[in-house]
Amino acid sequence: MDNFIFLFNEKEAKYKQVYQQIKVLITQGTLTPNDSLPSIRKLAETLQVSRNTTLTAYEQLVAEGYIRGEGRKGYFVNALEQVFLQEQEQPIMSQPKSNTTSLLFDFRAGAVDQQHFPMKTWRQMSNQVLQEPSCYQYGEMFGDPLLKEQLVQYLLQARGVSTNIENIVIGSSTQQMLLYLGFLLKDHFPSILLEDPGYNGAREAFQLHHFSIEAMPVLETGAQLDVLTHCQSRLVYVTPSHHFPYGVSMNIQQRQALIQWAQQVDGFILEDDYDGEFRYSQQPFPALASIDPSRVIYLGTFSKSFLPGVRLSYMVLPNALVQPFKERFAQFEQNASSLHQRTMAQFMAQGEWTRHIKRMRMTYKQKMQHLVQELQRQFGQQVTILGEQSGLYVLVKILSPLSEQQLIQRAASYGVKVYPTSPFFLHETAEQPMLQLGFSKLTMEEINLGVERLKEAWQP
């Protein structure tokens, strides 16, 4: 089907009418499974509406399962049984309970690109793994040996960390591992130094354990390490490769200063390397754990680099902590799925992991550049962008009389979700409203349109 023509009424939003009409064509059988739909641009031209209108209609149809997007190929009609199945499970649009604008562009940082996900390979390997007898019993307590083997190789090659299988512990998330570690550390370390601003999820984990918390101020230019000379703590939690949220990396002098401090106070550094894979301007910096593994608890995750839903994370313990940790948790079962662990081990062993990271680095680099460009084009001097060298989000400082909260609400009323940074601050505060925009799961076109809408939303 190349195009549609129909008349609009004045009562309802145009995108709703487009949505309704196409839905009727599908349910009546005029459009049949796998029929292709006109492109967003083409349909907009024919109907003489904005591309925003046709995109919104398509997005709604996708959300409800009537049609699917297949990247550059365009949009296609789904088989109807699928639709009804999905509708039963999750009614999305029927009986709207509030009249809020439905969410169209979600600049969420905690998501990954679906289009480039190696679906076929991952499925094949998962399916294969289900035949292994080891899947039918409890997995190894501290993680699957095959996955640990792969991680040993990967960490050496990609992050410069030289370690052994025995030092690696697999967990379901960084937070879960921090909570477990807390039981071990808090007897000897009553307080901990945290970056400010910093990752609030880690802060919460330490607070649950009643660590007393000291702040290490971080500016847009980097961490202020002079606090090390007069703090009480002998434990510090940092994100040296890609500071959360500012995105700065510690230089080698700072890294060495941190390590020396840990050696002097006989303490430990918790290095959270949550997205060290994605650095766009240079090679990723080697991890702190590559300088002195005896002073660093290294934390890594597959949530950004692969899929948050698999809930796979890992840590590398310094030798001194391996036995104490394993003794403390000798009666505890593994938290991460052994099916996913096994599949990931296969995926890495066959070189798919390296390919995936390379591919995603390219994809995300392009998206990042595009987002930065669009923000600059639409907002010019009104915005300052931070952290565009690496990672899956940028920070956007906005010159505006509106508060962070107001900016978020205005955006939401235009169907765009952007995220606050204020929860990351402990004592420090940003002098201007600053928002977090993730881009990983958005298409180029969605980035365009999302930023366009932000421009409208934030107009004085």
Residue numbers at the binding site for a second copy (CB under 8 A): 89-90, 108, 110-114, 117, 119, 122-123, 126-127, 130-131, 133, 135-139, 146, 172-173, 175-176, 179-180, 183, 200-201, 204-205, 208, 303, 307-311, 328, 330-340, 345, 349, 441
H or E stretch at 52: helix 51-63
Cβ proximity to a second copy, 114 vs 251, nearer residue: 114
Is the CB of residue 313 less than 8 Å from the CB of residue 330?
no
Distance of alpha carbon 103 from alpha carbon 59, whole angstroms: 10
H or E stretch at 223: strand 222-223
Cβ proximity to a second copy, 171 vs 293, nearer residue: 171
Cβ proximity to a second copy, 261 vs 419, nearer residue: 419
Output the smallest distance, CB 338 to a second copy, in A: 4
Q: What are phi and psi of 298, to 5 degrees?
A: -95, 130
Cβ proximity to a second copy, 164 vs 294, nearer residue: 164
Distance of alpha carbon 446 from alpha carbon 199, whole angstroms: 27
Cβ proximity to a second copy, 201 vs 286, nearer residue: 201
How long is the chain? 460
Output the smallest distance, CB 135 to a second copy, in A: 5
Cβ proximity to a second copy, 328 vs 455, nearer residue: 328
Cβ proximity to a second copy, 213 vs 349, nearer residue: 349
Cα separations in angstroms, 58 against 14, 51, 104, 444: 12, 11, 11, 16
Residues 185-216: b if buried by 16+ CB within 10 A, e if exposed: bbeebebbbbbbbbbbbbbebbeeeebebbbb
Is the CB of residue 326 less than 8 Å from the CB of residue 241?
no
Angle between helices 338-349 and 145-159 (to 10 degrees): 50
Output the smallest distance, CB 202 to a second copy, in A: 9
Output the smallest distance, CB 241 to a second copy, in A: 20
Query: Parallel, antiparallel, or unpaired: how do β-strands 393-398 and 416-417 relate?
Result: unpaired
| Residue at 452: amino acid letter | E
Output the smallest distance, CB 423 to a second copy, in A: 8
270 strand-pairing partners? 237, 297
Output the smallest distance, CB 450 to a second copy, in A: 16
Output the smallest distance, CB 290 to a second copy, in A: 27
Output the smallest distance, CB 160 to a second copy, in A: 26
> Which phi-psi region, left, alpha or beta, contains residue 9 (left: φ > 0; alpha: ψ -120 to 50)?
beta
Cβ proximity to a second copy, 123 vs 377, nearer residue: 123
Distance of alpha carbon 310 from alpha carbon 333, whole angstroms: 17
Output the smallest distance, CB 400 to a second copy, in A: 27
Cβ proximity to a second copy, 212 vs 373, nearer residue: 212
